[in-house]
Amino acid sequence: MTHDDNKARVNVKIYGEEYVMRGPNTPEHMLSIAHYVDEKMKEIGQANTRLGINKVAVLTSLNLADELFRARKELQEMKARMEQKNRQEHRNRR
């Protein structure tokens, strides 16, 4: 792990392949992300043993995008509920 230009650099292994990650996040954060992707790829690879690495990667990407979209929708719904609650409390104070 090295730091240059305020970017951390870590070596990771994802689905048996070595990669170098470089970015503004902490090495621990990048290792955590790599581990998460590796675990997701292993899950999909074990469930679909005839698929090559490219198809496993694409299916993993689709699953992660689905997680992201669901989390964004949940966040938007929470924000809307909070705004509604704040408006109600503001009206009740009048």
Three-class secondary structure of residue 2 per DSSP: strand
Identify the pLDDT of residue 6.
Answer: 76
Domain that holds residue 64: 2-93
54: closest CA among 31, 62, 10?
Answer: 62
Q: Which two tokens stand for residue 11?
A: 């070596």
pLDDT interval class at 21 (50, 70, 90): very high
Q: Which two tokens stand for residue 82?
A: 């909070």
- For 8, phi and psi rounded to 5 degrees? -80, 155
Residue 3 has pLDDT above 80, yes or no: no
Q: What total of structural domains would you count in the chain?
A: 1
Residue-wise pLDDT for 64-91, tens only, equals 999 999 999 999 999 999 999 999 988 8
